[in-house]
Amino acid sequence: MNIQWYPGHMTKTKRMITDSLKLCDVVCEVLDSRIPISSRNPDMDKLAGSKSRVIVLNKSDMADDRHNDAWVKYYEDKGFYVVKADSKSGSGIRQVKDVVNKACEAKRQRDQRKGILNRPLRAMVAGIPNVGKSTFINSLAGKASAKTGNKPGVTRGKQWIKLGNNIELLDTPGLLWPKFTDIETGLKLAFIGSISDDIINTTELALELIFTVSKNYPDAFDQRYGIGEIKEIDKIENAVQLLEQIAEKRGCLKKGGGPDKDRAALILLDDFRNCRLGRITLEYPE
């Protein structure tokens, strides 16, 4: 299953981000802690140019905590300022202001030498769709200023949000890149809801999710659906059988009888996207 998604509004978003960056001191790039490599837009380094950079490893509450700190270290070693955050509960959010200030220290000193004093720092919050950019901003601001939702493309235009008198945040729409070089990347982005389900065969996607999750978290299925012990699944017939078991457990039956795999697929994807299969990380630092 080869997924590609680069709708027209993203070309517009890319242009807006390029223009708005001229006004910003720092780029806070929000990643999904479950896939900290695949949720990075490879165009971001070029777009951000020489701006200061902060990486926000968001949704850390949904990722396997055994790997979260390794990812923090991975990006720190690459020279980024890094924050591990759970924007939903607000955990990790308190340190963001300090990190942003630290990332902008050199710029502030340059400003001072030029006689520019007390100008608020401007931070662009950017990233791929649905990683929690707007939720992160709301959590930082302590109020629901930006619209959020668990699907890609909720934020449509840019929006400035003030954080006291010192920092201004720019919420931006999610941006992907024109072509995923490998099939795995597209799949992982679809698993976490960064790609519109409208262009995807969700039953096929759920089968792929079964292959992927069963590799390192085979117990997740029994724990959620009570279907007995499962080992790693690598054959399509076994994945289909698991979907049928989920359908039976959840009472999804087709009109003519028999398990409704398509509805079970939607249940499985929704459960994964809302952390009901447990905390799962799909990528590990090398």
Ligand X SMILES: Nc1nc2c(ncn2[C@@H]2O[C@H](COP(=O)(O)OP(=O)(O)OP(=O)(O)O)[C@@H](O)[C@H]2O)c(=O)[nH]1
Largest CA distance in the chain: 77
Residues 86-105 that bind ligand X (CB under 6 A): 86-88
Out of 38, 41, 134, 194, the residue judged to bind Mg ion by CB under 5 A: 134
- The distance of closest approach from Cβ of residue 62 to ligand X in the complex, given in angstroms and rounded to an integer, is 5
Pairing state of beta strands 159-163 and 167-171?
antiparallel
Q: Which stretch binds Mg ion (CB under 5 A): 134-142, 182-190, 202-210, 230-238?
A: 134-142
- The distance of closest approach from Cβ of residue 132 to Mg ion in the complex, given in angstroms and rounded to an integer, is 8
* C-alpha–C-alpha distance, residues 242 and 44, integer Å: 39
Residue pair 193/27 in contact by the 8 Å Cβ criterion: no
Reduced to 3 states (helix: H, G, I; strand: E, B; else coil), residue 11 is: helix
**Residue 174 touching ligand X (CB under 6 A):** yes
Q: Which stretch binds ligand X (CB under 6 A): 6-14, 58-66, 67-75, 232-240?
A: 58-66
* C-alpha–C-alpha distance, residues 282 and 191, integer Å: 10
Reduced to 3 states (helix: H, G, I; strand: E, B; else coil), residue 29 is: strand
Q: Which stretch binds Mg ion (CB under 5 A): 117-125, 151-159, 180-188, 254-262?
A: 151-159
Reduced to 3 states (helix: H, G, I; strand: E, B; else coil), residue 224 is: helix
Q: How many residues bind ligand X (CB under 6 A)?
A: 24
Residues 107-166 that bind ligand X (CB under 6 A): 127, 129-135, 148-150, 152-155
Residues 195-224 that bind Mg ion (CB under 5 A): none
**Residue 155 touching Mg ion (CB under 5 A):** yes
Element (H, E) at 161: strand 159-163
Q: Which stretch binds Mg ion (CB under 5 A): 87-95, 153-161, 188-196, 272-280?
A: 153-161
Amino acid at 90: G
* C-alpha–C-alpha distance, residues 90 and 58, integer Å: 10
Out of 40, 59, 261, 263, the residue judged to bind ligand X by CB under 6 A: 59
Residue-by-residue DSSP string for 183-208: HHHHHHHHHTT-S-GGGS-HHHHHHH
- Residues found near ligand X in the complex (CB under 6 A): 58-59, 61-62, 86-88, 127, 129-135, 148-150, 152-155, 173-174
